[in-house]
Structure 1
Amino acid sequence: MKTSTNMDAGKHIDASDAGQARRHMLMLTGAGIAAFGVGAAGAIPAAAAATEKRTDAWDKTFPKSAKVEHRKVTFRNRYGITLAADLYVPFGAKGKLPALVVGGPFGAVKEQSSGLYAQTMCERGFVTLAFDPSYTGESSGEPRNVATPDINTEDFSAAVDFIGLQPIVDRERIGMIGICGWGGMALNAVAVDKRVKAVAVSTMYDMTRVMSKGYNDSVTPQQRSQTLEQLSRQRWEDAKQGSPAYQASYNKERAGPQFMLDYHDYYMTPRGYHPRAVNSGNAWTQTTPLSFMNMPILSYIREISPRPILFVHGEKAHSRYFSETAFAAAAEPKELMIISGANHTDLYDRVDVIPFDKLTAFFSRHLGAA
């Protein structure tokens, strides 16, 4: 077991801030279900009103690198949903290269954090693929802006299917990176998909845990029951209308505890805003939490062994406990890296904070040098 850190001595997460955050989220949702509002139906968000529209234009939140070749691709998952993705290949690459599949964060699109990770790791010699999860972004699937642990775990394996068929890729040297809520999905995918030889997760969320138990497992059985009652009855409303109700637009207002302000400052400002992202002023369906609340995704994390796991998390992140408890549950070989002073969203796009050297060394060691 390895733990590494660049934390300053004596720094701790402020317990009062964490308590305030929990109280705020309980107030917002009635059951502490992450950042999901389960209240009255809102208007259909712009990004959910129409089916996906794909563009070849460079519309990322980060500048295009002159060191890589980029192209848009599509492929189908096991459920017949067409996924849209960005394939990055190092310019002048020859022979068979190691490859990385990249997904996340939850509610984001490939033009944001996952694309930045993919392009940066491609600059370092890996063939990389960043994809839009089913029902979101430029990927297909109706209704729009819905998530589910099973299909979204499958999305990762479908990406492995695709990248492993590329002539320039050595299919025996494929790794995976999951960011935020897609970090938990990546771990779930690797537990079952033995083709993946190494996995790294950054600022990881276990979405099934937070939706079923609230932040820091603060939801009571009574609150859980009340939420399930409300969500169950919402199904009748959706069935009567013939379409799902959507939650209130996410991240539209800069309010709440600090971590909600951090989300707003990424998703709703020029720093990270993208019109197709659920979290950039759009919304999930109201009943999205249902499948998450009864389906823990990290039950088989120990079966990733003997393949290695790298956990990366910010010292100041409200979500840090997800990585710490998953790290404790995982089998060897495993490593936890805590980034000094970093909050949750710093690891989305702060290239001076994201430990790309560490990620490069980790995958080079376990996939073979790029």
Structure 2
Amino acid sequence: MNKPDISGHAITYQDKPDAERRNFLKMSLIGIVTLLAGAFTMNQAFAESQIQLSDKWDKTFAQSSKVDHKKVTFKNRYGITLAADLYQPKNASGKQAAIVIGGPFGAVKEQSSGLYAQTMAERGFITLAFDPSYTGESGGEPRNVASPDINTEDFSAAVDFIGLQPNVDRERIGIIGICGWGGMALNATAVDKRIKAVATSTMYDMTRVMSKGYNDSVTLEQRTQRLEQLSQQRWKDAENGGPTYGPVANELKGGEAQFLVDYHDYYRTPRGYHPRAVNSNGSWTLTTPLSFMNMPILTYIKEISPRPILFIHGEKAHSRYFSETAYAAAAQPKELMIIPGANHTDLYDRVNVIPFDKLTAFFSTNLK
């Protein structure tokens, strides 16, 4: 540790008298500790300052009188603060089974995941619906970016939190992933052995669709071209000091495929619109696909076994093949339930279509 004196000569730690050397060391350590503590405090203050929870019921569904609800926050392994809604059956006693719920991709907890959470709480489970990192009321900068790794971690962080609740039995925790968070839920279950059962509804494998397109129609040439464009976009973002965002999600100009019309019907109308949802009122960063295109999240789906998987999908959903191929790749015990006549977004909020009886039976059997 050298420090120049006024004459420009270096004064070394070894050159100092014993008393001065001890004092020098003491002051250096104090300075380092103070610096680290200050940095920690600043980082904490910065992170928490981003979390502003709404104090009103602003869900896209009616509040149930059968459950208690409160907003909570917790951190994931990367230090991002997640916001969530905790639902508990009224007058329940003892330790209960719990279910963590996430999705759809680009939605918030006030939409589909919250509906699933409240409904399953009415049926006796303690449930938690969360906003993924960088979206909704959760923390993370920049906004509206997704990551197959971090968003998988969000599920495990939610399991951390709910397993610390005094009325939750840690050995009876399951998860539900809706749409793009169906793939994340499967990925989380493969790696996190605390999760005892997993169900997916209208599941998307976001890494597959971003890297290969719908029905795996993207050629190697097209993939290479896309990656070239995204790589060049990084230069632009670096020069601008921040990310560039794509067009506003789910706007219709006419002539779109039916499934895009269905998305608009959910996200952009009173049926499911929420101002904090990326798919209702925003857009993803242009470079969001990069990590998805190089990280197939269902590689280890067989390692979910011997824990059970329930796949639920609509008969007429454009995304049905995601559940069918994932089901084929998974090991037993597994079940694929196809809902007659249902499209992709019917399973977001149509309570007469979503098979809540089946979900209740599945988790009651496998979280006991």
- Structure 1 and Structure 2 fold alike (TM over 0.5): yes
| Distance in 2 between residues matched to 1:132 and 1:315, nearest whole Å | 28
- The aligned runs of 1:295-314 (5 Å cut-off) are 295-314=295-314
Deviations for 1:88-135, whole angstroms, at most 9, x for unmatched residues? 010101000000000000000000000000000000000000000000
SS for the counterpart of 1:273 is coil
1:355 alignment counterpart = 355
> Between Structure 1 and Structure 2, which shows a larger proportion of helix residues?
2
Residue 54 (structure 1) shift: 1.7
User: 2: CA distance between counterparts of 1:57 and 1:236?
Assistant: 41
Secondary structure of 2:280's aligned partner: coil
Q: 1: CA distance between counterparts of 2:219 and 2:328? A: 24
The answer to whether 1:258 aligns with 2:253 is: no
Partner of 1:283: 283
Please give the residue correspondences for 1:216-295 in structure 2 after superposition, counting only pairs within 5 Å: 216-253=215-252, 255=254, 256-295=256-295
| 1:46-61 equivalences in 2 (<5 Å) | 53-61=52-60
The aligned amino acid for 1:290 is L
Q: Does 1:366 align with 2:361?
A: no
SS class of match (2:196): strand
Deviation at 1:51, TM superposition (A): 5.1
| AA matched with 2:306 | P
What stretches of structure 1 move > 3 A for 4+ residues in a row? 50-53
Secondary structure at the aligned position of 2:276 is classed as coil
Question: 1:135-190: CA deviations, max 9, x gaps?
Answer: 00000000000000000000000000000000010010000000000000000000
| SS of match in other structure, 2:306 | coil
- Percent identity between matched residues is 79
CA change 1:138–1:297 in 2 (3 A) is same
Correspondence 1:135-284 to 2 at 5 A: 135-253=134-252, 255=254, 256-284=256-284
Distance 1:349 1:254, change over 3 A: farther
Q: CA deviation at 1:254?
A: 5.7
Residue 47 of structure 1 corresponds to none
Query: What's the offset of the Cα at 1:281?
Result: 3.0
CA distance in 1, matches of 2:253, 2:153: 34
Name the amino acid aligned to 1:253: L
Q: Which runs of 5+ in 2 are unaligned?
A: 1-48
Instruction: Please state how far the C-alpha of 1:61 moved relative to its aligned partner.
Output: 0.1
Instruction: State the secondary structure of the residue aligned to 1:313.
Output: strand
Equivalent residues in 2 for 1:1-150, closer than 5 Å: 53-150=52-149
| CA deviation vs aligned residue, 1:265-323 (integer Å, no higher than 9, x gap) | 00000000000000003100000000000000000000000000000000000000000
* Partners of 2:250 and 2:280 within 8 A in 1: yes
Q: Which amino acid aligns with 1:332?
A: Q
CA distance in 2, matches of 1:136, 1:176: 20
Contact 1:177 1:202 (8 Å CA) reproduced: yes
State the structure with more CA Rg.
2
1:275/1:254 Cα in 2 relative to 1: closer, same or farther (>3 Å)?
farther
Distance 1:123 1:281 in 2: 30
Residue 69 of structure 1 deviates from its aligned partner by: 0.2
Report the AA paired with residue 354 of structure 1: I
* 8 Å Cα contact 2:274-2:281 kept in structure 1: no
**Residues 314 and 340 in structure 1, CA contact (< 8 A), matched pair in contact too:** yes
Determine if contact 2:182/2:205 at 8 Å carries over to the other structure.
yes
Distance in 2, Cα, partners of 1:143 & 1:291:
15
Q: Distance in 1 between matches of 2:151 and 2:287?
A: 16
Higher RCO (C-alpha 8 Å, min separation 6): 1
Give 1:53 shift.
3.2
Preserved contact between residue 146 and residue 285 of structure 1 (Cα < 8 Å): yes
Deviations 1:213-270 (A, max 9, x none): 0000000001001100000010010011101000000012264100000000000000
Q: Which runs of 5+ in 1 are unaligned?
A: 1-49
Q: Verify the 8 A CA contact 1:52 1:140 in the aligned structure 2.
A: yes
Cα distance in 1, alignment partners of residues 310 and 341 from structure 2: 19
TM-score scaled by structure 2? 0.86
Instruction: Report if aligned partners of 1:100, 1:177 keep a CA contact under 8 Å in 2.
Output: yes
Contact 2:302 2:330 in 1 (8 A): yes
Matches of 2:241 and 2:51, distance apart in 1: 20
Matches within 5 A, 1:332-347: 332-347=332-347
- Is residue 283 of structure 2 the alignment partner of residue 319 of structure 1? no
1:291 is paired with a residue whose SS is helix
Residue aligned with 1:158, SS: helix
Supply the distance in 2 between the matched residues of 1:254 and 1:266 (Cα, whole angstroms): 16
Mapped contact 1:81–1:134 kept (Cα < 8 A): yes
What is the CA–CA distance in structure 1 between the aligned matches of 2:165 and 2:343, rounded to whole Å?
36
Aligned positions, number = 319
* Amino acid in the other structure paired with 2:61: F
Give the CA deviation at 1:56. Answer: 1.7
User: Aligned partners of 1:251 and 1:206: how far apart in 2?
Assistant: 19
CA distance in 2, matches of 1:51, 1:198: 33
Is contact 1:187-1:298 (8 Å) kept? yes
State the Cα distance separating 1:352 from its structure 2 match. Answer: 0.0
Secondary structure of 1:150 counterpart: helix
- 1:330 matched residue in structure 2: 330
Aligned partners of 1:168 and 1:106: how far apart in 2? 30
Change (3 A) 1:172 1:130: same
